[in-house]
Structure 1
Amino acid sequence: MVEIKTIKIDGESIHVFKSAIYIFESSSGYTLELDIIVSELAVKKYKKIENLIIEIELADGRIINSIMHVKILSGGLPQLNLFCELNDIQEYEDFEMVNENDSGFPDIENGITLEEIRKVEMPIEDISLKLKLPIDQVEWLKSQKKGALNEMFQAFISDYWKK
């Protein structure tokens, strides 16, 4: 199996947790497929883009540059499926070949967890809470800066969660 060293999307290096590159053979032809497990932030960034400029550096030093289509694979870990049509597969003879009738695609999710991914890049999301509090507590909360409230709630939740 061909090993990937680095991947750049639109000229930007991205952190890839696991990957597989292979040739997919169907009745309509051949496609070069790249499955990568990335962070949730990377999926969010690229999920609405149809085509990306991809640079793949292989472990043997070869470089593949291509415009690839993006497909988000739902369920499981955050991952992207990038693919492009191939006219000539001779230069890809050492790549794994997967047929549309095969049941076994490369399993890149095995051996990695969402917790490990989030240790590298943790998504931060906004949340709105509706609370009923005494007016003096509401006034105090409104007088606080957003950054201070974020730190306070993070500390409170972390402490509470550990119990």
Structure 2
Amino acid sequence: MVRVKSVKVDGEGIHVFNSAIYIFESSAGITLELDLIVSEVAVKKYKKEETLIIEIELEDGRIINSIMHVKILSGGLPQLNLFCELDAIDEYEDFHRVNENDSWFPNIEEGITIEEIRKVEMPDEDISLKLKLPIDQVEWLKAQKKASLNELFKEFICDFRKKQDLK
């Protein structure tokens, strides 16, 4: 079975938690498919792209360079599905083949959790809060810089969660 060693997207290496590379055969044609478990940050970065320049290094030393289409697979762990059409499949004879009528597809989520992924790369999200506070606290909050408030709330939430865990 062919295994992926590393993946570069537009020349930049990305952290891959698990992957599967295979040939997909359908009535529409034959494609090279690369399924990747990546971070939520990577999915967010590439979800609006239609195609990417991909460099795949296989464990046996082979390198595949291709322009591949991008699909974001929803549900479960953050995943990218990259694929490109193939005309000749001679150099891919040792790749696993999946037919559109098969019930088997590679399960790359097994043994990985979202918590493990977030230990490597934690996404940041914007949030808006509506609070009712005394005017002097509101004035103080408005006078602070966004970066300072972000740090303040991160520390507050961490401390609060620790206290909750002790109860």
Structure-1-length-normalised TM-score: 0.97
What does 1:78-89 align with in structure 2 at a 5 Å threshold?
A: 78-89=78-89
State how many pairs are aligned.
163
Q: Which position in structure 2 is the counterpart of 1:126?
A: 126
Post-superposition CA distance 1:74-125 (Å, at most 9, x none): 0111110000011111111110000101111000000101111110100112
Equivalent position amino acid for 2:126 in 1: D
Asked if residue 33 in structure 1 is aligned to residue 33 in structure 2, the reply is: yes
1:158 is displaced (CA, Å) by 1.2
Q: For the residues of structure 1 that align with 2:143 and 2:120, how far apart are their CA atoms?
A: 34
SS at 2:152 equivalent? helix
Q: Give the equivalent residue in structure 2 for 1:51.
A: 51
Report deviation, 1:48.
Answer: 0.6
- 1:127 is paired with a residue whose SS is coil
Letter in 2 for 1:80: L
Equivalents in 1 of 2:39, 2:122: separation in Å? 8
**TM norm structure 2:** 0.94
- In structure 1, list runs of 5 or more residues that go unmatched: none
In the alignment, the residues of structure 1 paired with residue 47 and residue 59 of structure 2 have an alpha-carbon distance, to the nearest angstrom, of: 27
Moved more, 141-150 or 83-92: 141-150
Identical-residue share of aligned pairs (%): 79
Partner of 1:65: 65
RMSD of aligned residue pairs (Cα, Å)? 0.9
SS state at 2:115 partner: helix
